[in-house]
C-alpha cells in the first residue's frame, strides 16, 4: 500500500510516494517560471501546473518502482494565497496569481470603505490586505471584465490540480481563509451575504471540505495523462506550510516550525483562543474542524537567494551540469566567509512588498551601508539576516501575547538546509533550533494526509513517530546581542523610508502611465 503527495510552491512542483510505514520510495521535483512583467504582479502559467504535475508524478512512480494500482490515496497542497480562474471547460482563463502578487491595492481600499476593517476581522480573523482571492477577483472584475464574466470557478493552485484529477471543484478548510473576507474562519463557511454585497457570483466559489475528506477519484482522463490508476481516491488537501509541518511531526498545540521556501514563515499550532490581527490565521490540518495555526510570513524569504542565483550567479548556474556543483552551495560558501552583521550591510528584504507584521504593499528591497568592500557574499548574508529580522519581528509580538510556543524551533523546507542560515535564525531568535532529517517537505505531509484520509494510517501520529530532528543549534549570546542592535537599526530604517516607498510607487505608476500612452 503506497500513498502519493503532491505540492505546488511558488517556485516549483513536487511529488512523493511513501509506503504504509511512511518511508519515502520516490520523489520528483521541477521548477516553473515566475512571471513578474508588471510592477507588483507575480504570476504563473496555470496550465504548466498540470504539465509539471504529470511529469513529477511519473518521476516519483518510476523512482519508487510502484505500480499505479499500489497507490491507495492522493492528497495535494499548494502555496497560498493563489488564484486560478477556470472556465466551464476547466481550463485556465488567464495566468494564475501566486502569493507574491500585490496588484490589488485599489480593491483593498474599496473593501476598507465598504466593509470596514473591524467587520473584516470579525468574520475572517485576518486583517484586510491585498493577498486574499476576493480582492484579486474584484481587480479582475474592474480591469478585465471579459475574463471575469467567463469565470466558472475560482480555485487555489491545489484546487485546480484536484479538479484536473477528479473533475470536482473544491477547497479545504485550511485553504478557504485565503479567499478573504467572504470566508468565516470559525464557522468554516462562505458568507453568502458578503458575497452578494460585493456583487460576486456565488456559483464561482468551490465546495468546502475538511482536509481529510475524500472529494473524488482519479478520472480516466487524468489517469491517462499522469499514469495513475482511475478510481484512486483523492483527499481535499491542505495549505503547503501545513503539509510540511504535518510531515515533520507538528501535530500538537504549541508546536512551532519554520520554512525558508519562496516565502519565509513559521507556524504555531493552537486552539483558536487567540487570533493576532497582524498575523495570518487559518485552520490546521490535523484537526481542521477544530484547530488553527498562526503563521507570520515574510513575502520573499528563500526567493531572495533564488533571485541572487538567477541574476548574480548566472555563470555558476549555467555550468552546474559540467561541474556537478550546486550553485546554492557556492552562494552559501561565499556568505559563510562574511562575519555576523555583514560588515555593516543591512537589508530590508521587501522585494515584493511585505506581510507580517508591517503589511506594506509598497515596500521594496533596500540595501543600507553598501560599500566598496562588500561582495555578493555580503549581500547574500545580509539577505539571510534580513529574513531572520523580518520573522523575528513577528515572533516577538506573539511571544509577548503569551501564545504557547514549545522549543526547539524546527526548521523544515527550502533554505533551511543552510547551516549558516539556521545559525543566524538561532542567534536572532535566541532559542534552540533543529533541522528535520527527512526534508522531502510538503508532499511528504500530503502523503501522510492521504494515508489518514484513506484509513491506511489511523491518525497523524505516524508523522511524529517518523520525525527525526538533527543538527541542533544553540544561540550564541554575543551574536544575539549584536543582532538585537542591528534589529533596532532594521526597524528604524523601515520607519525612515516607509513614506518614501509610497512616493516611489506613485512615481513608478506615473511613469508607467506616461510610457503607455
Q: Which DSSP symbol is given to 228?
A: P
Q: What pLDDT shows up at residue 45?
A: 98
Query: For all residues of the chain together, what is the average pLDDT?
Result: 95
- Per-residue pLDDT averaged across 8-36, rounded? 95
Q: Which DSSP symbol is given to 229?
A: P
Give the separation between CA 367 and CA 37, rounded to whole angstroms.
Answer: 23
Cβ pair 382, 346 in contact under 8 A? yes
Residue 263, all three cell numbers: 516565502
- Per-residue pLDDT averaged across 139-147, rounded? 98
Give the separation between CA 88 and CA 86, rounded to whole angstroms.
Answer: 7
Q: Which DSSP symbol is given to 39?
A: T
* Dihedral in degrees, nearest 10, Cα atoms 212, 299, 256, 162: 10
Give the separation between CA 358 and CA 392, rounded to whole angstroms.
Answer: 12
- Which residues, including other chains, have CB under 8 Å from residue 400's CB and lie 6 or more apart? none
Give the separation between CA 514 and CA 72, rounded to whole angstroms.
Answer: 57
What does each C-alpha distance from 301 to 57, 160, 413 come to in angstroms? Answer: 27, 25, 11
Query: What values do phi and psi take at 473, rounded to 5?
Result: -125, 145
Return the beta strands (E) in 437-499 as ranges. Answer: 469-473
Residue 134, all three cell numbers: 476576493
Mapped to the 3 state alphabet, what secondary structure does 134-199 carry? HHHHHHHHHHCHHHHCCCCEEECHHHHHHHHHHCCCEEECCCHHHHCCCEECCCCEECHHHHHHCC
Q: How many CB atoms lie within 10 A of CB 496?
A: 11
Give the separation between CA 350 and CA 386, rounded to whole angstroms.
Answer: 9
- Per-residue pLDDT averaged across 31-49, rounded? 94
Q: What pLDDT shows up at residue 253?
A: 87
Residue 141, all three cell numbers: 472584475
Residue 404 scores a pLDDT above 90:
no
Q: What pLDDT shows up at residue 438?
A: 81
Taking Cα atoms as reference points, which of 136, 271, 292 lies closest to residue 211? Answer: 292
Count the alpha carbons within 13 Å of 197 in the hemisphere toward its beta carbon: 13
Residue 187 scores a pLDDT above 70:
yes
CA 50 to chain centre: 19
Q: What pLDDT shows up at residue 509?
A: 83
Instruction: Determine which of 65-79, 208-222, 297-311, 503-517 has the lowest per-residue pLDDT on average.
Output: 503-517
Give the separation between CA 327 and CA 106, rounded to whole angstroms.
Answer: 40
pTM, full prediction = 0.88
- Per-residue pLDDT averaged across 406-418, rounded? 89
Domain with CATH 3.30.420.40 in the chain: 2-247, 298-435+476-480
Residue 115, all three cell numbers: 466593509
Residue 80 scores a pLDDT above 70:
yes
Q: If DSSP codes are grouped into helix, strand and coil, which group holds residue 281?
A: strand
Q: What pLDDT shows up at residue 516?
A: 63
Q: How many CB atoms lie within 10 A of CB 273?
A: 9
Give the separation between CA 11 and CA 9, rounded to whole angstroms.
Answer: 5
Angle in degrees, CA 285, 134, 151, rounded to 5: 100
How does residue 414 score in pLDDT terms, banded at 50, 70 and 90? Answer: confident
pLDDT tens digits for range 312-333 = 999 999 999 999 999 999 999 9
Cβ pair 190, 183 in contact under 8 A? yes
Name the CA radius of gyration of the chain, rounded: 22
Q: How many CB atoms lie within 10 A of CB 369?
A: 16
Q: What pLDDT shows up at residue 406?
A: 87
Give the separation between CA 366 and CA 477, rounded to whole angstroms.
Answer: 28
* CATH class name, domain 2-247: alpha beta
Instruction: Determine which of 16-20, 268-272, 428-432 has the lowest per-residue pLDDT on average.
Output: 268-272
Question: What architecture is domain 298-435+476-480?
Answer: 2-Layer Sandwich (3.30)
What does each C-alpha distance from 515 to 142, 161, 503, 505, 508 come to in angstroms? Answer: 22, 38, 18, 15, 11
Instruction: Determine which of 203-207, 269-273, 495-499 has the lowest per-residue pLDDT on average.
Output: 269-273
Taking Cα atoms as reference points, which of 216, 208, 376 lies closest to residue 282? Answer: 208
What does each C-alpha distance from 178 to 281, 331, 441 come to in angstroms? Answer: 9, 34, 21
Q: What pLDDT shows up at residue 17?
A: 98
Percent of the chain scoring above 90 in pLDDT:
88
Give the separation between CA 145 and CA 199, rounded to whole angstroms.
Answer: 13
- Per-residue pLDDT averaged across 257-266, rounded? 91
Give the separation between CA 266 and CA 245, rounded to whole angstroms.
Answer: 9
Percent of the chain scoring above 70 in pLDDT:
99
Q: What pLDDT shows up at residue 517?
A: 60
Residue 459 scores a pLDDT above 80:
yes
Amino acid at each position: 500500500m503506497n500513498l502519493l503527495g503532491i505540492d505546488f510552491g511558488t517556485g516549483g512542483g513536487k511529488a512523493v510516494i511513501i509506503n504504509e510505514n511512511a518511508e519515502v520510495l520516490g520523489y520528483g521535483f521541477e521548477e516553473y517560471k515566475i512571471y513578474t512583467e508588471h510592477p507588483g504582479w507575480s504570476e504563473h502559467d496555470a496550465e504548466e501546473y498540470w504539465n509539471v504535475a504529470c511529469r513529477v508524478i511519473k518521476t516519483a512512480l518510476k523512482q519508487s518502482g510502484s505500480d499505479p494500482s499500489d497507490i491507495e490515496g492522493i492528497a495535494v497542497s499548494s502555496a497560498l494565497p493563489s488564484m486560478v480562474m477556470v472556465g466551464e471547460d476547466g481550463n485556465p482563463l488567464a495566468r494564475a496569481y501566486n502569493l507574491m502578487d500585490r496588484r490589488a491595492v485599489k480593491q483593498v481600499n474599496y473593501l476598507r470603505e465598504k466593509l470596514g476593517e473591524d467587520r473584516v476581522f470579525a468574520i475572517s480573523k485576518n486583517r484586510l490586505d491585498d493577498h486574499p482571492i476576493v480582492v484579486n477577483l474584484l481587480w479582475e472584475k474592474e480591469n478585465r471584465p471579459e475574463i471575469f464574466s467567463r469565470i466558472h470557478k475560482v480555485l487555489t493552485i491545489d484546487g485546480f490540480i484536484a479538479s484536473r484529477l477528479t473533475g470536482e471543484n473544491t477547497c479545504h478548510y485550511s485553504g478557504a481563509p485565503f479567499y478573504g473576507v467572504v470566508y468565516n474562519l470559525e464557522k468554516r463557511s462562505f458568507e453568502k451575504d458578503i458575497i452578494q454585497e460585493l456583487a460576486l457570483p456565488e456559483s464561482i466559489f468551490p465546495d468546502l471540505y475538511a482536509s481529510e475528506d475524500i472529494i473524488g477519484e482519479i478520472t480516466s482522463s487524468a489517469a491517462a495523462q499522469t499514469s495513475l490508476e482511475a478510481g484512486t481516491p483523492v483527499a481535499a488537501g491542505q495549505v503547503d506550510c501545513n503539509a510540511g509541518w504535518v510531515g515533520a511531526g507538528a501535530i500538537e498545540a504549541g508546536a512551532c516550525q519554520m520554512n525558508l521556501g519562496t516565502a519565509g514563515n513559521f507556524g504555531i499550532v493552537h486552539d483558536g483562543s487567540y487570533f493576532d490581527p497582524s498575523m495570518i490565521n487559518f485552520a490546521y490540518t490535523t484537526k481542521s474542524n477544530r484547530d488553527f495555526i498562526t503563521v507570520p510570513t515574510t513575502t520573499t524569504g528563500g526567493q531572495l537567494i533564488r533571485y541572487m542565483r538567477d541574476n548574480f550567479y548566472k555563470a555558476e548556474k549555467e555550468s552546474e551540469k559540467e561541474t556537478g556543483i550546486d550553485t546554492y552551495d557556492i552562494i552559501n560558501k561565499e556568505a559563510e566567509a562574511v562575519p555576523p552583521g555583514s560588515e555593516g550591510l543591512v537589508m530590508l528584504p521587501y522585494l515584493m512588498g511585505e506581510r507580517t507584521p508591517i503589511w506594506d504593499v509598497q515596500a521594496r528591497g533596500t540595501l543600507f551601508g553598501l560599500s566598496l568592500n562588500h561582495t555578493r557574499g555580503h549581500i547574500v548574508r545580509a539577505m539571510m539576516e534580513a529574513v531572520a529580522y523580518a520573522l523575528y519581528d513577528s515572533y516577538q509580538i506573539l511571544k509577548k501575547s503569551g501564545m504557547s510556543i514549545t522549543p526547539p524551533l524546527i526548521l523544515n523546507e527550502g533554505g533551511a538546509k543552510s547551516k549558516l542560515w539556521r545559525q543566524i535564525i538561532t542567534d536572532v531568535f535566541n532559542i534552540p533550533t533543529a533541522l528535520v532529517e527527512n526534508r522531502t517537505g510538503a508532499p511528504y505531509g500530503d502523503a501522510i494526509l492521504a494515508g489518514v484520509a484513506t484509513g491506511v494510517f489511523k491518525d497523524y501520529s505516524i508523522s511524529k513517530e517518523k520525525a527525526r530532528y538533527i543538527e541542533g543549534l544553540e544561540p550564541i549570546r554575543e551574536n544575539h546581542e549584536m543582532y538585537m542592535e542591528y534589529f533596532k537599526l532594521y526597524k528604524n530604517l523601515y520607519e525612515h523610508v516607509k513614506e518614501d516607498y509610497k512616493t516611489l510607487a506613485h512615481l513608478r505608476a506615473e511613469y508607467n502611465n506616461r510610457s503607455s500612452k
